[in-house]
Amino acid sequence: MPVHLTVNGRAETLDLDLRTTLLAGLRDGLGLTGTKEGCDRGECGACTVLVNGRPALACLMLAVSAEGQTITTIEGLAADGSLHAVQQAFVDHDALQCGFCTPGQIMAAVGCIEAGKAGSTAEIREWMSGNLCRCAAYPQIVAAVAAAANVGR
Amino acid sequence: MHPFEYRKVASAAEAIAQSADRRDAIYLAGGTEVVNWLKDGIVTPSLLIDLSACEFDRVSLDAETLSIGGLARMATVAADPAVQQIAPAITQAIEASASPAIRQMATIAGNLLQRTRCPYFLGARHSALGTRPSALGTRPASAERRVPSAEPCNRRVAGSGCGVVAGDQVGAAILGASPGCVATHPSDLAVVLAVLEAELVVQGEAGRRILGVEALYPVTADPAVENTLLRGELITAVRVPVGRAAGRARYLKIRRRASFDFALVAAAGYWLVEDGVVADVRLGFGGVAARPWRARTAEAHLIGRQPTAESVARAVAAELANAVFLPGNRYKADLLAAAATKLLLDPPGLP
């Protein structure tokens, strides 16, 4: 079934099996492998993308039900060759080790800051709690989100 | 994933009509439950009816009723100024639910219609390793990668037994359980709505009916019955009476992790103290049954008593007079008393 999406500003048409998740559509259909598959059941946050500007777990969405929606993945965050403020903050604060969870962490952080929920360390920890980091880079992640939130202010 | 047909509908009436033609159709709203159940083979519909384009997703307020559309997203409802002002415990319950990204996707009706589950119901996940499908095109990713649960669970396979009996009992129900199932209902919101005496607007082939939120759930756990909706029915709205209960009630959730976890126990409610005694009280519990548990025995016990921790402990003990404990969940009696005491004497602050 054809599915029409706007992904990172580009109109895309995918011909997909109905059972394909948005995550599989992005990775296998469009080659956008920045979005990671961790648990594939909404528990780890590695597949976090923005759907119409709001964080969503691509593994819990059927691609077909995203018809007509606007998707932003980690590949679409940098503009004009310069990193997004959250990406830059993750670099500056060493907010990763293996990096597998990082795209999801960054997309969730964008949503957290947008929602105005990055006002304190406790608030950031709560609002980023759906994104697991098995390297436990949490202190650096929280610091990066706090710094990026301040940049935006 | 079992093959299915897919139709996106634009209204509740259209959804109901589509469902009437296909006995095994199921509805898709936020997808945070159903997509997992499709992957696991827990549901195998021949038709998936996508409600995401329907418009019963608004919050509205009049003098008597706060009305929340069944398709309203949890995050939207939690952030709604009318909800925060009229019924702040709804915001508390939602913000204690799942993770922010799931709350952005999940709907209010879907939250109430979550499956009663325990680790054994979800057991298939632990045996799913090593079955990754090949690339898209030859075999759809995320399809057919789950294998049937190796754990006994009467909700997964009727008559297969209950893994909790000889297994992990930490989350198990203590009230209203049946020999066949001791799982708890996971909704935080349902506990608050039971305390607020909210009503559900339900639409189906036979028209519209109003259902008290407690009546959505079977009185005694039955592995074969998730809820009391008739086939094809939809929850189009939740109606919360405006007033003292909505304004004063608070929600307290106790979980193993500080965030993003199911309740071990939860308590919702408030009390009003006049002349040194409890003049009005509402209390409900989560994490104790396959339904939100309105603690009417405890409420009756508290009226006219002094507002002390001792009164709360006695009232909770009275509520638990018929509780059935397993070795692994006896702690819930003490934890529930502590949660109710904290809720009533030192209510959690508002966000």
B227-255 confidence digits (pLDDT tens)? 999 999 999 999 999 999 999 999 999 99
Give pLDDT, residue B237.
Answer: 98
Helix (H) or strand (E) holding A4: strand A2-7
Inter-chain residue contact A61 with B105, CB threshold 8 Å = yes
Are B234 and B111 within 8 A, CB to CB? no
Instruction: Find out whether B272 and B278 touch, Cβ atoms under 8 Å.
Output: yes
**Nearest residue of A to residue B8, measured between CA atoms:** A65
**Per-residue pLDDT for B14 more than 90?**
yes
Q: What is the mean pLDDT of chain B?
A: 92
Give how far B243 is from chain A: nearest CA, Å: 29
Distance from CA of A35 to the nearest CA of B (A): 14
- Our CA-based measurement puts residue B32 at a distance from the nearest CA of chain A, in whole angstroms, of 5
Cβ–Cβ gap B101/A130 under 8 Å: yes
Instruction: Please report the pLDDT score of residue B123 as a whole number.
Output: 76
Contact between B66 and B246 under an 8 Å Cβ cutoff? The reply is yes
Complex ipTM? 0.96
The least confident of B15-29, B134-148, B183-197 is B134-148
* Global confidence as pTM: 0.94
Contact A19 B140 (CB under 8 A): yes
Per-state percent for chain A, helix, strand, coil, to nearest 5: 40, 20, 40
**Is residue B32 predicted with pLDDT exceeding 70?**
yes
| Cα–Cα distance for residue pair A70/B4, rounded to 1 Å | 25
Taking CA–CA distances from A21, the nearest residue in chain B reads B142
Look up residue A45 and give its DSSP letter: -
Q: What is the mean pLDDT of each run of 10 residues along chain A (153 residues)?
A: 96 96 98 97 97 97 97 96 96 98 98 95 96 98 97 65
Return all residues near A144 (Cβ < 8 A) that are at least 6 apart: A86, A89, A90, A92, A93, A95, A109
CA B9 to chain CA centroid, Å, is 25
Q: What is the pLDDT of residues B317-351, one digit of tens each?
A: 999 999 999 999 999 999 999 999 999 999 998 76
Distance (Å, rounded) from C-alpha A132 to C-alpha A145? Answer: 15
Q: What part of A 39-98 touches B (C-beta under 8 Å)?
A: 40-42, 45, 48, 54-57, 59-62, 64-65, 67
Choose, out of B8, B33, B35, the residue to mutate when testing the contact with A (most A CBs < 10 Å).
Answer: B35
* A70 in Cβ contact with A135 (< 8 Å): no
Name the residue in chain B with its Cα closest to that of A44: B99
Tell whether the torsion through CA atoms of B320, B325, B331 and B332 is positive or negative.
negative
- State whether A60 and B28 contact (CB < 8 Å): no
> Could you say which of A57, A67, A115 has the minimum Cβ distance to residue B105?
A57
Establish, for the pair of chains A and B, how many residue pairs have beta carbons separated by less than 8 Å: 116
Angle, CA of B235, B241 and B242, to the nearest 5°: 135
**Percent over 90 (pLDDT), chain B:** 85
Rounded Cα gap, residues A55 and B98, in angstroms: 14
A111 Cα to chain B: minimum distance (Å): 9
Q: How confident is the model at residue B151 (pLDDT cuts 50, 70, 90)?
A: confident
Give B3's contacts in chain A (Cβ within 8 Å): 18-19
Helical pair B88-95 and B188-195, crossing angle rounded to 10 deg = 160
Cα angle vertex A103, ends A100, A107, to 5°? Answer: 145
CB A125 within 8 Å of CB A112: no
pLDDT of residue B349: 87
Q: Which of B8, B105, B141 sits opposite A24 (nearest CB)?
A: B141
Q: Which residues of B touch A61 (CB under 8 A)?
A: 31, 35, 105
Give the model's confidence band at B258: pLDDT under 50 very low, under 70 low, under 90 confident, else very high.
confident
A62, B101: Cβ pair inside 8 Å?
no
- Note the pLDDT of residue B87: 98
| CA dihedral for B203, B204, B208, B212, sign (positive or negative) | negative
| Interchain contact, B102 vs A67, CB within 8 Å | no
Instruction: Tell whether the torsion through CA atoms of B306, B309, B312 and B314 is positive or negative.
Output: negative
In chain A, what residues touch B4 (CB-CB under 8 Å)? 18-19
State CA A1 to chain mean position distance: 26
